[in-house]
């Protein structure tokens, strides 16, 4: 065993693509939680793509054009593909490789007003689409999932960069086509090229849990991160002029809850867990010469949380015992390393992505069943995996830099599991030979089946709470007091300070573990938990002046002040 360098923990995700039904619930709930604001109308931190398809933004995988990720130089070093530090600064006045809004889609709303204000006439009034950017009427031509379910078929599907790469073998005719859904979020890479591209140093990887975030106070809107990310998962908020990205729902992760996309996933296909890795091996692993070795290199960076040496090294590097324990139960480690059925998305970008995917066996099963063969027989499935070159090649381009061997290995394991478990379901004797054929034991196959098919909530989401916020560090928490009371915070009478230069300025609202409980109290209590009061317009009868609804009247005018600053502190109140 090689020497263990500095151990770091990463909250990672695995998605089982066989179970994705493409319902977009993850995308919608994510959008409701995070990007339901002006400036990010076009932004989907989570989106679900139909593959083959162009994805969102359109053809984002075409790195010849978008120049995302890292490039290995002749000397074996890594450099952002879009250029190093000097080139970044030289092109800072206009980013030459930034996708335009049309590459995502122009956000729109509908002219609902017209439905009620249209003059009486013979025609039923309609709500025409209007651009949310310019307010002008527009033609809707594209959106985040325009080519859903192979909509557009040959015409759009053939524009998929991977389809173009593997040649003209991919068919889009109904009978011969295959498709699957690919939900995508930020990969929270071990070697993030967006972070490397940020001239301001506003983007960072959190040391405790590996979540990649944008410091909104430090971002200056240079837009290099948008180019740097090969997955195009950093977005530019055109209202605030700042970069925004998937936060892995860190306020939820910090209190031990799964991300919104995981929580609401209808197919229950997402797994969350901690992976321990050796940060000193990351640079070397990301720079291996052959792209096809990147998958294996990344696996080598992960440390076995069951190994006492690793546990000792993790404790040495300040990782709390409960995190190490959590890593031992991590479904992500199980699926990625132990069973080795999860694969990284586009390892060839050399960013060491940390959202992994179990490739779908369904294209193989479907093709097999259509030919009239038994789609659950191990022998048939193994033969089909070898014979069906197109889906396998396509999956290999997605997950293993084009190397079909690991994809075939994973699909064979999934096929073996399917076949092995069918025998058990039918009351037949378990056939150990099926498991042996894919290098597993029957017990292994059953354990994998349990994790993939029946795992309950707390088995799928093994998320330890952030350091310093639970009983283990109670002293720290008590120091903090009311978490809304920081200077300029909501508890001090401001909503994160004023906004001297319009809605885009001022301080952003705190969203962190410290105010989680306070926010929950506010959401669940019957009364007001403190100023500033919020008025629910749905309940307001239009009479009177509820406190907090209108701006305060001039005190000299003699009317009662809407809000008395002194009454904020209950101790100052006179007895009634």
**Positions 451 through 490 that interact with another protein (CB under 8 A):** 466-468, 476, 480-483, 485-489
Question: Hey, which residues between 504 and 523 contact another protein (CB under 8 A)?
Answer: 504-510, 512, 514
Q: Does 93 bind another protein (CB under 8 A)?
A: yes
CB of 260 to another protein, least distance (A): 20
Helix axes 404-425, 362-370, angle to 10 degrees: 70
User: 33-37 — which CB contacts under 8 Å span 24+ positions?
Assistant: 33/249, 33/260, 34/246, 34/247, 34/249, 34/260, 35/244, 37/239
State the binding string over 62-91 for another protein (x if CB under 8 A, else -). ------------------x----xx-xx-x
Give Cα separations from 509 to 202, 254, 505, 522, 532 (angstroms).
17, 17, 12, 15, 14
Closest CA to 145 of 181, 119, 98: 181
Question: Hey, which residues between 119 and 138 contact another protein (CB under 8 A)?
Answer: 131, 133-136
Q: Does 326 bind another protein (CB under 8 A)?
A: no
CB of 433 to another protein, least distance (A): 47
d(CA 501, CA 255): 34
Question: Hey, which residues between 194 and 223 contact another protein (CB under 8 A)?
Answer: 195-196, 198-201, 203-209, 215-223
What are the b/e assignments for 494-523, b being 16+ CB within 10 Å?
Answer: eeeeeeeeeeeebeeebeebbbbebbeeee
Given the complex with another protein, which of 272 and 361 has the nearer CB atom? 272
CB of 51 to another protein, least distance (A): 26
Question: Hey, which residues between 250 and 269 contact another protein (CB under 8 A)?
Answer: 254
Q: Which stretch binds another protein (CB under 8 A): 377-385, 399-407, 493-501, 539-547?
A: 493-501
Q: How many residues bind another protein (CB under 8 A)?
A: 82
Q: Does 281 bind another protein (CB under 8 A)?
A: no
Q: Helix, strand, or coil here: 112?
A: coil
Question: Hey, which residues between 296 and 325 contact another protein (CB under 8 A)?
Answer: none
CB of 205 to another protein, least distance (A): 5
Q: Does 105 bind another protein (CB under 8 A)?
A: no
Structure-block tokens of residue 514: 């410290």
Q: 135: how many CB neighbours lie within 10 A of its CB?
A: 10
Q: Helix, strand, or coil here: 501?
A: coil
CB of 152 to another protein, least distance (A): 25
Preceding peptide of 52 cis, ω within 30°: yes
CB of 441 to another protein, least distance (A): 40
Given the complex with another protein, which of 52 and 228 has the nearer CB atom? 228
Q: Considering Cα of 30, then 486, then 209, then 450, what sign does the dihedral take?
A: negative
d(CA 192, CA 351): 5
Report the Cα 269 to chain-centroid distance in Å: 14
Q: Does 242 bind another protein (CB under 8 A)?
A: yes
Given the complex with another protein, which of 84 and 306 has the nearer CB atom? 84
């Amino acid at each position: 065993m090689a020497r263990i360098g500095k151990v770091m923990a990463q909250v990672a995700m695995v998605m089982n693509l066989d179970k994705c039904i493409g319902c977009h619930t993850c995308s919608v709930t994510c959008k409701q939680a995070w990007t339901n604001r002006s400036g990010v109308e076009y932004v989907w931190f989570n989106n679900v793509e139909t593959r083959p398809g162009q994805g969102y933004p359109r053809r984002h995988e075409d790195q010849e054009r978008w120049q995302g990720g890292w490039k290995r130089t002749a000397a074996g070093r890594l450099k952002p593909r879009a250029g190093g530090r000097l080139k970044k600064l030289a092109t800072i006045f206009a980013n030459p490789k930034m996708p335009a809004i049309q590459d995502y889609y122009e956000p729109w709303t509908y002219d609902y007003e017209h439905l009620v204000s249209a003059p009486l006439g013979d025609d039923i009034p309609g709500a025409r689409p209007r651009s949310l950017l310019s307010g002008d009427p527009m033609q809707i031509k594209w959106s985040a999932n325009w080519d859903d379910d192979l909509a557009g078929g040959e015409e759009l599907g053939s524009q998929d960069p991977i389809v173009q790469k593997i040649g003209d073998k991919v068919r889009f005719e109904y009978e011969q086509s295959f498709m699957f859904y690919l939900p995508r979020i930020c990969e929270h890479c071990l070697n993030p090229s967006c972070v490397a591209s940020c001239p301001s140093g506003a983007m960072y990887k959190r040391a405790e849990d590996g979540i990649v975030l944008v410091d909104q106070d430090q971002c200056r809107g240079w837009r290099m991160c948008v180019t740097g990310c090969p997955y195009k998962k950093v977005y530019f908020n055109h209202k605030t002029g700042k970069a925004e990205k998937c936060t892995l729902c860190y306020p939820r992760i910090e209190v031990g809850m799964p991300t919104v996309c995981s929580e609401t996933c209808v197919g229950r296909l997402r797994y969350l867990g901690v992976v321990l890795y050796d940060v000193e091996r990351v640079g070397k692993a990301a720079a291996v010469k052959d792209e096809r070795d990147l998958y294996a290199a990344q696996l080598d960076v992960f440390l076995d949380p069951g190994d006492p040496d690793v546990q000792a090294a993790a404790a040495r590097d300040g990782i709390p015992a409960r995190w190490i324990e959590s890593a031992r139960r991590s479904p992500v480690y199980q699926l990625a390393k132990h069973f080795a059925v999860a694969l990284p998305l586009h390892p060839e970008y050399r960013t060491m992505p940390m959202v992994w995917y179990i490739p779908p066996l369904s294209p193989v099963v479907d093709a097999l069943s259509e030919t009239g063969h038994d789609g659950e027989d191990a022998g048939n499935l193994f033969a089909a995996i070898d014979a069906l070159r197109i889906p396998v090649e396509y999956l290999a381009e997605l997950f293993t830099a084009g190397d079909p061997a690991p994809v075939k290995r994973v699909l064979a394991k999934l096929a073996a599991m399917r076949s092995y478990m069918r025998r058990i379901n039918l009351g037949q004797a378990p056939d150990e030979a099926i498991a042996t054929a894919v290098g597993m034991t029957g017990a292994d196959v059953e354990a994998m089946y349990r994790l993939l098919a029946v795992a309950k909530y707390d088995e799928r989401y093994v998320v330890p709470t952030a350091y310093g916020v639970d009983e283990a560090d109670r002293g720290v928490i008590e120091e903090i007091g009311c978490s809304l009371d920081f200077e300029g915070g909501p508890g001090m009478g401001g909503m994160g300070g004023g906004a001297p230069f319009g809605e885009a300025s001022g301080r952003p609202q705190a969203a962190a573990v410290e105010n989680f409980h306070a926010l929950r109290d506010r959401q669940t209590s019957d009364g007001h938990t403190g100023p500033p009061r919020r008025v629910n317009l749905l309940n307001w009868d239009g009479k009177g002046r509820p406190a907090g609804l209108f701006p305060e009247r001039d005190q000299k005018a003699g009317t009662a002040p809407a809000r008395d600053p002194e009454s904020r502190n209950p101790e100052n109140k006179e007895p009634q």
